[in-house]
Structure 1
Amino acid sequence: MIFILLYLGNPVPSLFISSSRSQAQECIVEKAISDNRSPTITAKLAKNLAESYERCSAMINALDESVPPKCRKDWSRVASIKKSYYCSLVNYFMALDNANEMKFGITVAHFKLAQTEIEEAWRVAKTFTDSIEPQLGQGMIATIQCARELIVNGYIFLILFVLDH
């Protein structure tokens, strides 16, 4: 127990603990999506995850010079990408929930927010060419591209649905 307490005062192990917890939450969100849970539940799970990555980002920004700048920069980009990605999912699932309730004005607003967030994730992911691990950026870009298409197609479907009715 004393060993654990010694490490909790150090920012790097605390950051690793927080990022590991966030990665575990990612599994829960992905499971909720694959199980077709209600949009409200999935949005809440994704919101908690986005907030978790925001806390990780704050922890990274507070790191001192004992961590090489290149590592801090890469970690910061990953946290920023994941925060934006999961914020986009929050808004996407909120849009689906509002569309189910026939609240189309709010639905459009959530789709636009989702698109803004996913574009931010895309913008940051494209900067991974100078990273320690550029292949990490390629994987993130592929995931973000799928989400972008999902959001855009959902928005187009909504517009066509509203125009048809």
Structure 2
Amino acid sequence: ENQKVQNNAHISEFSAKIKELSKKSSAVKTEKEANALKIEEDIAKEQLDAANDEIVRLDKILENKETYKKELEEEKIKQEQNINEIRVSIKSEMEVLEKDRMSVYDKKTKLVGEMNQKVLSFYEKIRKWAKNTAVVPVKKQACYGCFMKIYDKTYLSVVKGEEIVT
């Protein structure tokens, strides 16, 4: 836009210059002066044509940029709609997950109420000591967490059950 305004200013300058040269041509006394004025007038006309061409070029660039801007705005609208759809989908999934979590929590609460409290307190002690890692049974002299064979000495200490073994 700025360049377009500048080119319009140049066009008005060149038009004024051409008019001025036309007035001077009537006051010419020699052929040399007439040729010089003609050359100046031709230069001014060429500059005027160049300025007009530049305006046309800038108009095309502006038009292309406007088209590109509209395309980007349409794409933005599509992406925003897509984001909103995804948000709605995520929200519904979160609600389902929250319901599932609540049902699991209710089941846990019910089971904890039915359990032997001595066993539960021992389990909680182990869980806190192990920093929320898994507690698994040992059967047939094997760890049922990683299924590795346990050495005799370690197995005997597990069977005694006097302390927690890792």
Give the TM bin, normalised by the shorter chain: 0.3 to 0.5
TM score, norm. by length of structure 1: 0.33
Pick 1 or 2: higher relative contact order, CA cutoff 8 A, min separation 6. 1
- With the length of structure 2 as denominator, give the TM-score of the two structures: 0.33
